[in-house]
Structure 1
Amino acid sequence: MKDFLGDLDLTSAVGKIQDILEKIDKVQLNIAVTGESGSGKSSFINAFRRLGDEDPDSAPTDVVQCTKEPTAYPHPDYPNVTLWDLPGIGTTQFKADKYLVDVKFERYDFFIIVASQRFRECNVELATEIQKMKKNFYFIRNQIDNDIRNEKRKREFNEEKVLEAIRQDCIKGLGQANAADVFLISCHDLGLYDFNRLLDHIEEDLPNQKRHALLLAVPPITMEILQKKKEALRTRIWMVALASGAMAAVPIPGLSISVDLGILVSEIKSYYIAFNLDLKAEIKYVIKFSDFGPNVVAQLLGASSRVAGVESTAEYLFSLIPVIGSAIAAGMSFATTYYMLNKCLDDLANDANNVLMKARSTHAE
């Protein structure tokens, strides 16, 4: 605590921690999604935002050209993460350099270029201009499920060979854009094909805080993504527990436990949102967000919450002892909160894993 907080008094220390956590939660991530009309840009935006094409607030997916100007679609759970549906490219009037100026290229952290068939010259021109402007871009070949379905009719069908042939054909068409890779996906099921690899590449290119925002917002559709989310959520537990410890050193009856309950409620709710666990039948604890509160924390943590009640009394008694007592109380509160949040994160990550396995087995049937 001393190393992190320096010579700050307790009130300033808690304020510093809260400021850092708020900045992490509010960091802006803007993702531009572009490509030819009909390539599935809107469907990708909806799938990333965990929405169906016909859900309220989803991006329209009409066959005709929908997007005339950049349209923002904030993530419903993480409004600091916004996907932008850009106007379609590929018309006779399309000029890559003018296009990027018109869509205000500087506000986007990276570009995703979507195609439903082989990439064309307009995709190459756009990627080349994006490179000149020192922005990252990623090529997505969409509707792979349709290709696989068509190829299955052939007598000597081999899915791996089909996927590699499609990928190489796209890379060949994008030669001028120095495309090292193309990511094959299906917006009907992002968990298939190359979505994990796409996420890995984007992660590597983003700074830490924007990477954290991406990992929380991305849909929990594969085991790999669930693990990444769990690791991202765990990185902030020590800081949250530090705030709990700082407050425990203040000798005010009931202050520490009330702060701890508020911290636990807020953090555990964020786990539910990140893992998309609200109202899922396969999870251990089925809880509505409207019911979230101290009683829910007790239900989630079981016996450990009773231990917390005993320790909160001990923390107060220790905090009355000058200097050494406050340090002991702070340490106890830090350890208790740290343990509880780690335990709950592990439990809910296991629940999310069970939900995913159930969904995959049902889909396979």
Structure 2
Amino acid sequence: MSLDDAEGVISPEEMQTIKQSLENESLNSAAEKIQKYFDQLDKTVLNMAVTGVSGKGKSTFINTIRGLGDEEEASAPTGETETTMDATPYSHPKFPNIKLWDLPGIGTEKFRPDQYLEQVGFQRYDFFIIISSERFTCNDANLAREIHKMGKHFYFARSKVDESLRAKAVRKNDYNETSTLKLIREDCITGLQKLGVESPRVFLISSFDPEKYDFTLLQEEMEKDLPQEKRHVFLLALPNITESVYQKKKKALQSDIWRVALLSGAAAAVPITGLGFAVDVKVLKREISKYYRAFGLDKASLRSLADRVKVPVEELRKVTKSGIKEDLTDEIVIKMLTKVAGGGLMASKGVASMLPLFGSLASGGIAFCTSYCVLKSCLEELAEDANLVLLRAFPNEAPKGKCV
């Protein structure tokens, strides 16, 4: 982790963004604004509503998005009988501001179609996922129309596709997976059109095999429909099941590196002995730990993935190369900073010429560049670890985020 100069470390586009952020600002006031930005992200709540009648896969879908198996502690209860009599929230275990709401099935005696949205607190949710393991019903179609009238997004998810494919394979001698999936999709779309839904999109999913079929495509549609701040939060919480997911996470985290580096350098809380500058180590430690969680490299995420793909968890840990530990200490982060401090000093000369503020605060420029280099290196290495784990977990699938 060494640098020759600022070029190649901070892109011209990013440098322009930093310039604009610091224009007519003191370092402290710029840091204050950045802190408010992160505070706002921390407070951003995302509410996802999942609805459908019992036994159609709602709870398993919720657990999969949360990175949990059905039998794990804090998972949503599953069953063929109606287990949900009220709108029940389930927080994401690593990102608690993301809540998935298990809504009661529409059309029961307690939840009549004309009163359903009001009863479940419609305004609370950012979007709705309407799940069925067979054809969608008149109640599903009515609900979709009401959601559309009120200006919110909804998605039809045809669940348990893996079970449908297995059943077809047993019964048909000329079974073909691609053509069978096409028939299932067309059947769902035609049924919804007959019920008066215009141009319905149906996503074919298996919560037990989320790396297959349309699960990733569904996630991409949900992400696209969210406002920027909620999109960021949503991305970080997605299960790491395809290359496209972790690449998007990497890009989202990368966009914040300069902000975290400036925040760390401005705070100047921990002097680095013999190097003449100080940084806020806790800021760096918190950000690197977020990388770890977002890429699913923490113990709980690896154990859950190992259980799902029937691979010993040690096999998944063994393929990682970064050596970055989950339980970071201040001392470990300081060692990282010390290792790149020379490069940070060189880079700061280039930064100082472009950012006059750092020219008058030489130690601030060095702290900023050194923190930036540490974060960039950690992000690259942990993203590569995530890729290696993905390849080991799905050696035959080589998932790229593509859907049939």
TM-score by length of 2: 0.80
| Structure 2 residue aligned with 1:55 | 72
| Structure 1 residue aligned with 2:320 | 283
Aligned runs of 1:215-226 on 2, under 5 Å?
A: 215-226=235-246
| Structure 2 residue aligned with 1:80 | 97
Residues 336-345 or 189-198, more deviating: 336-345
1:333 maps onto 2:352 in alignment? no
1:161 match: secondary structure = helix
* Gap runs ≥5 in structure 1: none
| Structure 2 residue aligned with 1:200 | 220
Aligned-partner Cα distance in 2 for 1:128–1:214: 25
Contact 1:191–1:222 (CA under 8 A) maintained in structure 2: yes
Question: How big is each residue's C-alpha offset from its partner over 1:334-357, in whole Å with a ceiling of 9 and x where there is no partner?
Answer: 222222211111111110011011
Larger relative CO (CA 8 A, sep 6+): 1 or 2?
Answer: 2
Cα distance, 1:27 vs structure 2:
0.8
1:30 match: secondary structure = strand
Aligned runs of 1:28-39 on 2, under 5 Å?
A: 28-39=45-56
2:251 corresponds, among 201, 206, 231, to 231
1:106 maps onto 2:123 in alignment? yes
| Structure 2 residue aligned with 1:267 | 287
Amino acid at match of 2:152: K
Cα distance, 1:17 vs structure 2:
1.2
1:127 corresponds, among 121, 124, 144, to 144
| Structure 2 residue aligned with 1:156 | 174
Aligned-partner Cα distance in 2 for 1:253–1:58: 44
* Gap runs ≥5 in structure 2: 1-17, 300-315, 399-404
Amino acid at match of 1:335: C
Aligned-partner Cα distance in 1 for 2:53–2:178: 27
Aligned-partner Cα distance in 2 for 1:209–1:270: 16
1:351 maps onto 2:385 in alignment? yes
Aligned-partner Cα distance in 2 for 1:261–1:47: 34
Contact 1:215–1:228 (CA under 8 A) maintained in structure 2: yes
Amino acid at match of 1:269: S
1:361 maps onto 2:359 in alignment? no
Cα distance, 1:287 vs structure 2:
6.1
Cα distance, 1:132 vs structure 2:
1.2
Cα distance, 1:21 vs structure 2:
1.1
1:95 maps onto 2:112 in alignment? yes
1:169 maps onto 2:203 in alignment? no
Q: 1:8 to 1:96 in 2, by over 3 A?
A: same
Aligned-partner Cα distance in 2 for 1:57–1:72: 11
1:13 maps onto 2:30 in alignment? yes
Cα distance, 1:252 vs structure 2:
7.8
1:25 match: secondary structure = helix
Aligned-partner Cα distance in 1 for 2:219–2:372: 29
Contact 2:265–2:280 (CA under 8 A) maintained in structure 1: no
2:129 match: secondary structure = strand
Residues 69-78 or 188-197, more deviating: 188-197
Aligned-partner Cα distance in 1 for 2:286–2:102: 32
Cα distance, 1:105 vs structure 2:
0.3
Cα distance, 1:297 vs structure 2:
3.3
Cα distance, 1:262 vs structure 2:
2.3
1:306 corresponds, among 339, 342, 348, to 339
Aligned-partner Cα distance in 1 for 2:74–2:215: 23
Cα distance, 1:256 vs structure 2:
8.3
| Structure 1 residue aligned with 2:232 | 212
Contact 2:240–2:296 (CA under 8 A) maintained in structure 1: yes
Q: 1:180 to 1:20 in 2, by over 3 A?
A: same
Contact 1:183–1:195 (CA under 8 A) maintained in structure 2: yes
1:140 match: secondary structure = strand
Aligned-partner Cα distance in 2 for 1:187–1:93: 28
Fraction of identical pairs, as percent? 47
Cα distance, 1:247 vs structure 2:
4.2
Aligned-partner Cα distance in 2 for 1:213–1:330: 30
Aligned-partner Cα distance in 2 for 1:206–1:343: 29
Q: 1:42 to 1:257 in 2, by over 3 A?
A: farther
TM-score by length of 1: 0.88
Contact 1:28–1:81 (CA under 8 A) maintained in structure 2: yes
Root-mean-square deviation (Å): 2.9
Contact 2:53–2:82 (CA under 8 A) maintained in structure 1: no
Q: What is the aligned length?
A: 354
Amino acid at match of 1:160: T
Q: 1:263 to 1:192 in 2, by over 3 A?
A: same
| Structure 1 residue aligned with 2:200 | 180
Contact 1:112–1:139 (CA under 8 A) maintained in structure 2: yes
Aligned-partner Cα distance in 2 for 1:200–1:131: 19
1:32 match: secondary structure = strand
Moved over 6 A (4+): 250-256
Contact 2:271–2:277 (CA under 8 A) maintained in structure 1: no
2:395 match: secondary structure = helix
Aligned-partner Cα distance in 1 for 2:200–2:207: 22
Residues 257-266 or 208-217, more deviating: 257-266
| Structure 1 residue aligned with 2:303 | none
Residues 60-69 or 279-288, more deviating: 279-288
Q: 1:103 to 1:311 in 2, by over 3 A?
A: same
